Structure 1
């Protein structure tokens, strides 16, 4: 019996020694991999057999590495996006600014006729207004991106509010010889929303149509169901190419058509961002040279 006990003790001791040595090797291997991860290689993964003492620890470490890699990818994408924004900003501001300075220098030289002076002043004013609009859009986008846009949610009669916004556009539409048809219910439909955000959404869409579509007709309709508000804004202008439609709400995206002349690539991105904040969504349908339609959906949240 003593010999059996001694043999069993030796077997257990040897097994424990092998087990400890094996785990020590695994821990050493894990340490090497973690050193590699610390040095920036987030593609490394830890390995462990199922149902071991360290397997659960290894799985959790792998989750942390994967999470850190995903955060790094997001950061790199964000940095790339901001570099693109700065590059676009530099180009979109410097080009019209240089042109504006050129026109003003010609006016200053007194080398042009009164008629030319009048034309140059009109062009200069247009370029200055375009710059002002671009800078305003940029500030709005940066406020949205940084979370500094402050929302004030109140109960608003969306029908009345939409009519007020559209009324401010009538003179501009008539000046540009654009016919319009507004179909807004006389009902009082009260919705809890941010009035300024909604106004910016509609104004950006109408401004986009006015500047880029070349349309002769604008149609705006408002309908609703028991749970949603639907606003359709359509024009009969140059339209948007099918390959561009999935990207028109992306920041800085500009379609390669006449619809994007003088575009800053921020207006529709701001629309989507604000609608998302209001719990809504937007979609677009278009055929090139056959107009475009934008459908806004807002939740019908009663106060």
Structure 2
């Protein structure tokens, strides 16, 4: 009996020692976690709480790491948005004030009689074109802000995409002929039903065609609508100057403008707006391009059930 008592006391002592060591280890881990959190609070978002999967505090450590990673991702997104907004304001200052100043200069020359006759007519036409360029930029700017506001809502409905595309392109025929751009339209007679917001789809198509007209230096444009498996595919291609690979990977970013070959005219918002509208309607958009040979944009939407 004495030996049993001694063994019981020894086991109890060992248990107490194990509990003490475990508590001490947990306290050490908690203090380490607090130290890491203090560094994170001071701005070091790369710190993480380290813990082996067998440790008692491991679930808490992993949860803290997930929360920190999530907040770091949001902060990085906010920083990018802040930087983009700064760039947007800089662009706004240049892209609005500069053409507005030029526009006023031409109109003042006409108003004060500095130019007369044929030169006056030329100044008036230049002022008119610059006014339309300025309006196009401001429209794109308002579209961008509207698209990224909480008030923006799409109203998708099942539409016949082939006929909708055909009707939208009618207005572009005189423009393409005036610019001496040959056009190849491939739109099937068979209906292709897709759930779309018609205004948003119109903006997507118009932006892609406008991109060709304004920036590609193309002499030919092709636009096709087709059914591919369970998707509708809209292709817009041109035989223009094309884009380098380094430009191609950024073309859907806000304010990005290609720096070689293609026209620098424009807001840098058109393709970014197009990309957002496509995604908001559950579609995808991709681009392929070869310098000196042209560019192809492919937009795909799921067919309506």
Do these two structures clear the TM 0.5 threshold for a shared fold by scoring above it?
yes
Match for residue 264 of structure 1? 267
2:221 aligned to which of 208, 218, 222: 218
Offset of residue 57 of structure 1: 2.0
Match for residue 170 of structure 2? 167
Match for residue 79 of structure 1? 82
Offset of residue 217 of structure 1: 2.3
> Contact (CA 8 Å) 2:194, 2:232: kept in 1 or not?
no
In 2, distance between residues paired with 1:98 and 1:61? 55
Offset of residue 190 of structure 1: 2.6
Match for residue 121 of structure 1? 124
Match for residue 227 of structure 1? 230
Matched, 1:179 2:182: yes
Alignment of 1:59-208 (within 5 A): 59-208=62-211
User: Residue by residue, what CA displacement relative to the aligned partner does 1:88-110 show, whole Å, maximum 9, x if unpaired?
Assistant: 22221122112112222222321
Decide which moves more: 11-20 or 75-84.
11-20
> Contact (CA 8 Å) 2:194, 2:301: kept in 1 or not?
no
Match for residue 48 of structure 2? 45
Match for residue 29 of structure 2? 26
User: Residue by residue, what CA displacement relative to the aligned partner does 1:121-167 show, whole Å, maximum 9, x if unpaired?
Assistant: 11111111111111111111122222433211222121211111111
Offset of residue 201 of structure 1: 0.8
User: So what's the TM-score if we normalise by structure 1?
Assistant: 0.90
Offset of residue 214 of structure 1: 2.5
In 1, distance between residues paired with 2:37 and 2:43? 10
User: Residue by residue, what CA displacement relative to the aligned partner does 1:234-262 show, whole Å, maximum 9, x if unpaired?
Assistant: 22233323432222222211111342331
> Contact (CA 8 Å) 2:159, 2:195: kept in 1 or not?
yes
Matched, 1:293 2:296: yes
SS at match of 1:296: strand
Tell me the C-alpha RMSD between the 2 structures: 2.2
Flag the 1:64–1:121 CA change in 2: closer, same or farther, 3 A: same
SS at match of 2:195: strand
Flag the 1:91–1:19 CA change in 2: closer, same or farther, 3 A: same
SS at match of 1:247: coil
SS at match of 1:46: coil
> Contact (CA 8 Å) 2:226, 2:232: kept in 1 or not?
yes
Gap regions ≥5 residues in structure 1: none
SS at match of 1:224: strand
Gap regions ≥5 residues in structure 2: none
